[in-house]
Chain A
């Protein structure tokens, strides 16, 4: 803002005046800008004028764009509670407004909370529109801890009412806040007030309400003492595990590890293990997949003394079934965690029971399943060493490397450095080297690019002398390939490998090839020569740069093709060769 002339005007008012006017500018960005500086405007106006003039004006921005409303809701945090109430009647973004209110609630003294905050919550809880009742649910837990006993009783009453509201939205909001509210409630009230509400919501006619109650189950279970769990929580949990709606059962499966930790080892052994078995055998694939995802975690968190027995007798049989499930997502989910079981079960059990499962999944018709096994080999390596698998591993890798879908090929390339590390240099040279070279000439560019990057990582792992003997000759050999795309790949490889290979190899073997390609027929190759030279420049000695690189670049700078000229000049500038 420029300073304006004139002695009468108050300079500092001008920027604020602009902001205020822009609150209703046609341009959304200007409105947004002003809204974000709302606290500045409010400061300039003072508390009274903000409350009596600014806020009533702002309530009419309900017709505004999404972004403006969101920004407005976020700004509410800096206003006092009374002001905030204005917005609640009409705002759609109540959840954002509620978030703001929750943040400012601890800035309020208990007296303030009693005097202003709680009445606000009360008004919202009895509002006509269900949106205000929904937002009330988000505010109970923030004001409860610091208000008086009688107010607390009122709040509990409001919550009770909202749990049996007519509209599903409000009941959903209540169910989703149940856990949070339970955390701030005194234990006696959790047992007397909240548990019945929890049970009611868990039997609601709307699926969407019941599945939120499952989430609350975890929080509530964490709060209650062990001896109360069996009576107060387990009946509801058992009901949820057998719910008619698969979405509720899915939720149970999804939260299973948290539930396990919350209910403790004894209930886990008696109740959760059979429940988990049922989920693994559920008729709906989505549920089985969710449960399969939790197999490793569940097994890890079983009590140490009974762990092995439970796994061998109860879990493993179900897992064996899942390996041949009809649904690929189930198998895929299983494949991503099943290897982890080897560390829990130890060497002998792994070899006898798990190894056949790994091998079966390694041959699965679905590529994702195979990929998930391959990506988790390190767990198995720790326990039994990779040799056992390598026989089956190689055909599996080869098949994935040649899959018709390029994304599958891409995925296996990305595991190659990891595999090379685990399988060792010899194995790699013998079996996998040719694959890596074949990828360099794949039809799909993304594969060629990934293959180049892969080579770089391999050289970093195995070292420059390995590179020199095994891959550099082959890469350089591609320089005379009839297909220009392959010749370009040579250049990309050289660019990627030069640093890892070191100065000698780069200067003695790679540089001559690059320089020769500057005379290539195809312009694309020539300008990539320039780019490559720029890339490998830092690795070369200055004498080589001056004697060999510079003349070539100078020649390319006078090339017929515009792009060749351009990149040659860029290279020279970049390497200070002008």
Chain B
């Protein structure tokens, strides 16, 4: 990065009081909109909170746009599937913004089973003046009405309303893990463990199945779909990743059912690293195209990989996120942490990638300089405008003063979700039930 990574600083953080922290507050997804003006978060309680960037003002030039709460609404409620006697969680798995088409904002939010299209719009005026009532609310005598009065719109405190515009339901047997909007702005896809469906944003009662990897005999099931995304500008291309560490690129032009892939990306296994847990840690938890559309990035348990779409045999670059965990896989399996699904993000220019780790650490890798840094999102660092200090994990032997040893890492504090502003160096990091927003230091 141009500016020193050390100059990352806290801009604002939205910390919920730990004492009253509930499971419902755990943030499950974070997403900037296409301009970066809005930032949406979803949580385990089915709520969506949208933050809006303050307009820069002349009298406070050093306070570059901070993010303030813009709207909060309940997107999904817990449900019960009577047929299978199963609870359907209200947790928001993913939020994706639609490109802006008028003064209102639109986003898709999904839980395990249902995708919803929400419209978020502002109301800054309210009608004043009745015909049948006085201004103080008393009913008027009809005989005193001598002329008609049209209500006049008067300014009022800004109200932001969220209304559900479409509900896309009943299309998934398994849990939805991804949604992705197509560059044609007309369709989007939703992916669950075994199937991917294509929807038209206007039509809620029909969707087309484009990938189905369910075997005829469920006992032959060996892999599931873990993530899926549309190409940023090719309307016919999408990728999906699997629990076996493979990525398939499909072309919707070739066939109606895209079970046959066009490209198959898999890195051959390094025999020296083989262990009982090899397959589990190779499971890809996230896949993201670069903004340019030339590359894609995948996250598995220990690494982040950048692939060139033209080369299927192996990744272009591999970055170790927390290789010191390789010797701890057994205990991580026992406490289920080995199944944690970390996401990864590109910066606007595709030069830096970021992903989360444990102990509220997150890692950034500069693809050009090959430098990387580990930072921490925590209350101790959260004095506004404080500069973050890089952190380091000590892998053995003598531990330096401000290093932390592997065994002291807090595995309950994991950063699974984060987002990077589309054009500026502003990042949003979700640490359990807290949201941190960092940006580059302003000189």
Interface set of A (CB-CB < 8 Å, partner B): 4-10, 13-14, 16-18, 20-21, 23-24, 44-45, 49, 53-54, 56-57, 60, 62-63, 89-90, 92, 129-131, 167-169, 172, 205-208, 243-247, 283-286
Q: How many residues of B contact A (CB 8 A)?
A: 40
Contact B121 A168, beta carbon cutoff 8 Å: no
Contact B148 A8, beta carbon cutoff 8 Å: no
Contact A21 B132, beta carbon cutoff 8 Å: yes
> Which chain A residues lie closer than 8 Å to B60 at the CB level?
none
Q: Which of B103, B145, B252, B256 is the one whose CB lies under 8 Å from A90?
A: B103
30 of the cross-chain contacts (CB-CB < 8 Å) are A4-B143, A6-B141, A6-B144, A10-B146, A16-B148, A20-B131, A20-B148, A21-B132, A44-B148, A45-B148, A45-B150, A53-B150, A57-B150, A60-B127, A62-B104, A62-B121, A89-B102, A129-B103, A130-B101, A131-B101, A168-B185, A169-B185, A207-B235, A207-B236, A207-B252, A208-B184, A246-B253, A247-B253, A284-B256, A286-B256
Instruction: Report the minimal beta-carbon distance from A211 to chain B, rounded to whole angstroms.
Output: 11
The closest CB in chain A to the CB of B146 belongs to A10
Chief secondary structure at chain A's binding surface: helix
Contact A9 B153, beta carbon cutoff 8 Å: no
- What 0/1 readout, one digit per residue, does chain B (163-190) give for beta carbons within 8 Å of chain A? 1000000000000000000011110000
Alpha-carbon distance between A395 and B153 when the two chains are bound, in angstroms:
76
Chief secondary structure at chain B's binding surface: loop
Contact A13 B127, beta carbon cutoff 8 Å: no
Q: Which of B145, B151, B236 is the one whose CB lies under 8 Å from A57?
A: B151
Q: Is there a chain A Cβ closer than 8 Å to B130's Cβ?
A: yes
Contact B256 A10, beta carbon cutoff 8 Å: no
CB within 8 Å of A: which of B112-166?
A: 121, 123, 125, 127, 130-133, 141-153, 161, 163
Instruction: Report the minimal beta-carbon distance from B60 to chain A, rounded to whole angstroms.
Output: 29
**17 extra interchain contacts, Cβ-Cβ under 8 A, other than A8-B143, A54-B150, A206-B235?**
A9-B141, A9-B142, A10-B146, A20-B131, A20-B151, A21-B132, A23-B151, A53-B152, A57-B127, A60-B123, A63-B163, A89-B102, A92-B102, A206-B183, A207-B236, A244-B253, A245-B252
> Which chain B residues lie closer than 8 Å to A13 at the CB level?
145-148
Alpha-carbon distance between A104 and B234 when the two chains are bound, in angstroms:
40
> Which chain B residues lie closer than 8 Å to A286 at the CB level?
256
User: Which 4 pairs from chain A and chain B are nearest by CB?
Assistant: A6-B143, A9-B143, A17-B131, A245-B253
Q: Is there a chain A Cβ closer than 8 Å to B255's Cβ?
A: yes
Alpha-carbon distance between A131 and B141 when the two chains are bound, in angstroms:
46
> Which chain A residues lie closer than 8 Å to B101 at the CB level?
129-131, 169
Q: Is there a chain A Cβ closer than 8 Å to B15's Cβ?
A: no
Alpha-carbon distance between A45 and B148 when the two chains are bound, in angstroms:
7
The closest CB in chain B to the CB of A167 belongs to B185
> Which chain B residues lie closer than 8 Å to A18 at the CB level?
131-132
Instruction: Report the minimal beta-carbon distance from A43 to chain B, rounded to whole angstroms.
Output: 11
- What 0/1 readout, one digit per residue, does chain B (104-116) give for beta carbons within 8 Å of chain A? 1000000000000
Alpha-carbon distance between A4 and B145 when the two chains are bound, in angstroms:
11
> Which chain B residues lie closer than 8 Å to A60 at the CB level?
123, 125, 127, 153
Q: Is there a chain A Cβ closer than 8 Å to B254's Cβ?
A: yes
Q: Which of B100, B104, B235, B256 is the one whose CB lies under 8 Å from A208?
A: B235
Contact B186 A284, beta carbon cutoff 8 Å: no
The closest CB in chain B to the CB of A45 belongs to B148
Instruction: Report the minimal beta-carbon distance from A133 to chain B, rounded to whole angstroms.
Output: 10
Instruction: Report the minimal beta-carbon distance from A72 to chain B, rounded to whole angstroms.
Output: 15
Contact B256 A246, beta carbon cutoff 8 Å: yes
Alpha-carbon distance between A169 and B235 when the two chains are bound, in angstroms:
13
Instruction: Report the minimal beta-carbon distance from A404 to chain B, rounded to whole angstroms.
Output: 19
Contact B121 A63, beta carbon cutoff 8 Å: yes
> Which chain B residues lie closer than 8 Å to A130 at the CB level?
101
Alpha-carbon distance between A168 and B185 when the two chains are bound, in angstroms:
7
Contact B184 A9, beta carbon cutoff 8 Å: no
> Which chain B residues lie closer than 8 Å to A7 at the CB level?
143
The closest CB in chain A to the CB of B159 belongs to A63
| Contacts known (A63-B121, A172-B186); A5 close to B143, Cβ less than 8 A | yes
Instruction: Report the minimal beta-carbon distance from A49 to chain B, rounded to whole angstroms.
Output: 7
Instruction: Report the minimal beta-carbon distance from A248 to chain B, rounded to whole angstroms.
Output: 8
Instruction: Report the minimal beta-carbon distance from A107 to chain B, rounded to whole angstroms.
Output: 25
> Which chain A residues lie closer than 8 Å to B123 at the CB level?
60, 63
Instruction: Report the minimal beta-carbon distance from A209 to chain B, rounded to whole angstroms.
Output: 8
The closest CB in chain A to the CB of B132 belongs to A21
> Which chain B residues lie closer than 8 Å to A44 at the CB level?
148
> Which chain A residues lie closer than 8 Å to B183 at the CB level?
168, 206
Contact A9 B253, beta carbon cutoff 8 Å: no
Instruction: Report the minimal beta-carbon distance from A384 to chain B, rounded to whole angstroms.
Output: 37
Contact B153 A56, beta carbon cutoff 8 Å: yes
Contact A168 B186, beta carbon cutoff 8 Å: yes
Contact A131 B102, beta carbon cutoff 8 Å: yes
Q: Which of A20, A168, A169, A246 is the one whose CB lies under 8 Å from B254?
A: A246
Alpha-carbon distance between A167 and B100 when the two chains are bound, in angstroms:
11
> Which chain A residues lie closer than 8 Å to B153 at the CB level?
56-57, 60
Contact B152 A246, beta carbon cutoff 8 Å: no
Contact A168 B235, beta carbon cutoff 8 Å: yes
CB within 8 Å of A: which of B256-302?
A: 256
Instruction: Report the minimal beta-carbon distance from A298 to chain B, rounded to whole angstroms.
Output: 23
> Which chain A residues lie closer than 8 Å to B149 at the CB level?
17, 20
